[in-house]
Structure 1
Protein backbone atom coordinates (compact mmCIF):
# COMPACT_ATOMS: atom_id res chain seq x y z
CA UNK A 1 0.00 0.00 0.00
CA UNK A 2 1.22 3.51 -0.73
CA UNK A 3 2.42 5.96 1.91
CA UNK A 4 0.97 9.48 1.85
CA UNK A 5 2.40 12.58 3.51
CA UNK A 6 0.25 15.48 4.68
CA UNK A 7 1.37 19.10 4.98
CA UNK A 8 -1.06 21.30 6.90
CA UNK A 9 -1.02 25.00 6.05
CA UNK A 10 -3.05 27.33 8.24
CA UNK A 11 -2.28 31.02 8.00
CA UNK A 12 1.44 31.41 8.63
CA UNK A 13 1.68 27.97 10.23
CA UNK A 14 3.03 25.01 8.25
CA UNK A 15 3.11 21.53 9.75
CA UNK A 16 4.99 18.88 7.75
CA UNK A 17 4.21 15.21 8.25
CA UNK A 18 7.57 13.41 8.45
CA UNK A 19 6.23 9.86 8.95
CA UNK A 20 3.39 9.66 6.48
CA UNK A 21 0.44 7.30 6.61
CA UNK A 22 -0.05 4.03 4.75
CA UNK A 23 -3.47 4.01 3.10
CA UNK A 24 -5.04 1.93 0.32
CA UNK A 25 -5.63 4.81 -2.11
CA UNK A 26 -5.50 8.54 -2.78
CA UNK A 27 -9.26 8.67 -2.23
CA UNK A 28 -8.74 7.31 1.29
CA UNK A 29 -5.96 9.88 1.86
CA UNK A 30 -8.35 12.65 0.79
CA UNK A 31 -10.98 11.36 3.24
CA UNK A 32 -8.38 11.42 6.03
CA UNK A 33 -7.40 14.97 5.09
CA UNK A 34 -11.04 16.07 5.16
CA UNK A 35 -11.49 14.55 8.63
CA UNK A 36 -8.32 16.27 9.84
CA UNK A 37 -9.45 19.58 8.39
CA UNK A 38 -12.79 19.32 10.21
CA UNK A 39 -11.04 18.55 13.50
CA UNK A 40 -8.58 21.42 13.09
CA UNK A 41 -11.35 23.88 12.20
CA UNK A 42 -13.43 22.70 15.15
CA UNK A 43 -10.55 23.32 17.56
CA UNK A 44 -9.89 26.73 16.01
CA UNK A 45 -13.54 27.77 16.28
CA UNK A 46 -13.51 26.88 19.99
CA UNK A 47 -10.57 29.28 20.31
CA UNK A 48 -12.40 31.99 18.35
CA UNK A 49 -10.28 31.65 15.21
CA UNK A 50 -11.31 31.09 11.60
CA UNK A 51 -8.84 28.89 9.71
CA UNK A 52 -11.17 27.92 6.86
CA UNK A 53 -8.69 29.38 4.35
CA UNK A 54 -6.15 26.67 5.25
CA UNK A 55 -5.35 23.54 3.29
CA UNK A 56 -3.71 20.14 3.47
CA UNK A 57 -1.26 19.16 0.75
CA UNK A 58 -1.08 15.42 0.06
CA UNK A 59 2.21 14.07 -1.30
CA UNK A 60 3.43 10.63 -2.26
CA UNK A 61 6.63 8.92 -1.03
CA UNK A 62 8.62 10.81 -3.68
CA UNK A 63 7.24 14.07 -2.21
CA UNK A 64 5.30 14.84 -5.38
CA UNK A 65 2.11 16.82 -4.76
CA UNK A 66 -0.88 14.61 -5.52
CA UNK A 67 -3.67 16.98 -4.50
CA UNK A 68 -4.58 19.86 -2.22
CA UNK A 69 -7.57 19.61 0.13
CA UNK A 70 -8.88 23.02 1.15
CA UNK A 71 -10.32 23.28 4.65
CA UNK A 72 -13.40 24.95 3.16
CA UNK A 73 -14.04 21.78 1.11
CA UNK A 74 -14.55 19.88 4.38
CA UNK A 75 -17.63 21.93 5.22
CA UNK A 76 -21.12 20.73 4.35
CA UNK A 77 -22.58 23.82 2.69
CA UNK A 78 -25.96 22.15 2.11
CA UNK A 79 -26.92 21.19 5.61
Structure 2
Protein backbone atom coordinates (compact mmCIF):
# COMPACT_ATOMS: atom_id res chain seq x y z
CA UNK A 1 0.00 0.00 0.00
CA UNK A 2 1.13 3.51 -0.77
CA UNK A 3 -0.13 6.86 0.45
CA UNK A 4 -1.54 9.24 -2.15
CA UNK A 5 -2.49 12.89 -1.77
CA UNK A 6 -5.34 14.42 -3.77
CA UNK A 7 -4.86 18.18 -4.16
CA UNK A 8 -7.62 20.14 -5.91
CA UNK A 9 -6.41 22.66 -8.49
CA UNK A 10 -8.66 25.69 -8.96
CA UNK A 11 -8.32 28.99 -10.80
CA UNK A 12 -7.42 30.54 -7.44
CA UNK A 13 -4.74 28.05 -6.44
CA UNK A 14 -4.32 24.66 -4.85
CA UNK A 15 -6.38 23.09 -2.06
CA UNK A 16 -4.00 20.76 -0.24
CA UNK A 17 -4.97 17.30 0.98
CA UNK A 18 -3.02 17.19 4.27
CA UNK A 19 -3.94 13.62 5.24
CA UNK A 20 -3.62 11.50 2.12
CA UNK A 21 -5.14 8.08 1.55
CA UNK A 22 -3.57 4.61 1.64
CA UNK A 23 -4.37 2.76 -1.59
CA UNK A 24 -3.18 -0.33 -3.47
CA UNK A 25 -1.68 1.53 -6.44
CA UNK A 26 -2.13 4.15 -9.15
CA UNK A 27 -5.20 2.48 -10.64
CA UNK A 28 -6.95 2.74 -7.27
CA UNK A 29 -5.71 6.33 -6.88
CA UNK A 30 -7.14 7.26 -10.29
CA UNK A 31 -10.52 5.73 -9.40
CA UNK A 32 -10.48 7.59 -6.08
CA UNK A 33 -9.73 10.90 -7.86
CA UNK A 34 -12.66 10.34 -10.25
CA UNK A 35 -14.98 9.56 -7.32
CA UNK A 36 -13.77 12.66 -5.44
CA UNK A 37 -14.30 14.87 -8.50
CA UNK A 38 -17.84 13.55 -8.95
CA UNK A 39 -18.68 14.11 -5.28
CA UNK A 40 -17.31 17.67 -5.31
CA UNK A 41 -19.17 18.50 -8.54
CA UNK A 42 -22.42 17.06 -7.13
CA UNK A 43 -22.17 19.32 -4.08
CA UNK A 44 -21.37 22.34 -6.24
CA UNK A 45 -24.27 21.68 -8.64
CA UNK A 46 -26.68 21.70 -5.69
CA UNK A 47 -25.40 25.21 -4.96
CA UNK A 48 -25.79 26.22 -8.62
CA UNK A 49 -22.03 26.24 -9.31
CA UNK A 50 -20.08 24.69 -12.19
CA UNK A 51 -16.63 23.58 -11.03
CA UNK A 52 -15.97 21.21 -13.93
CA UNK A 53 -12.85 23.17 -14.94
CA UNK A 54 -11.04 22.06 -11.78
CA UNK A 55 -8.52 19.24 -11.58
CA UNK A 56 -7.20 16.82 -8.99
CA UNK A 57 -3.45 16.41 -8.70
CA UNK A 58 -2.40 13.01 -7.38
CA UNK A 59 0.91 13.17 -5.50
CA UNK A 60 3.01 10.65 -3.61
CA UNK A 61 4.36 10.97 -0.06
CA UNK A 62 7.35 12.97 -1.34
CA UNK A 63 5.11 15.50 -3.07
CA UNK A 64 5.91 14.28 -6.58
CA UNK A 65 3.06 14.78 -9.05
CA UNK A 66 2.02 11.38 -10.38
CA UNK A 67 -1.09 12.29 -12.37
CA UNK A 68 -3.58 15.09 -12.96
CA UNK A 69 -7.25 14.17 -13.37
CA UNK A 70 -9.63 16.77 -14.79
CA UNK A 71 -13.09 16.99 -13.30
CA UNK A 72 -14.49 16.89 -16.85
CA UNK A 73 -12.92 13.47 -17.41
CA UNK A 74 -15.10 12.18 -14.55
CA UNK A 75 -18.24 12.86 -16.60
CA UNK A 76 -19.92 11.07 -19.46
CA UNK A 77 -22.11 13.24 -21.67
CA UNK A 78 -25.56 11.72 -22.21
CA UNK A 79 -28.76 13.01 -23.77
CA distance in 1, matches of 2:37, 2:30: 10
Q: Which runs of 5+ in 2 are unaligned?
A: none
State the aligned residue count.
79
Q: Deviations over 1:18-74 (max 9, x none)?
A: 111110011101100100100111111111111000000000111100000000000
Query: Could you say which residue in structure 2 is the equivalent of 1:7?
Result: 7
- Could you tell me which residue of structure 1 aligns to residue 36 of structure 2? 36
Q: Give the CA RMSD over aligned residues.
A: 1.4
The residue correspondences of 1:9-28 to structure 2 (distance < 5 A) are: 9-12=9-12, 14-28=14-28
Q: Secondary structure at the match of 1:32?
A: helix
User: 1:13 Cα shift?
Assistant: 5.2
Question: So what's the TM-score if we normalise by structure 2?
Answer: 0.91
The runs of at least 4 consecutive aligned structure 1 residues that moved more than 2 Å come to: none
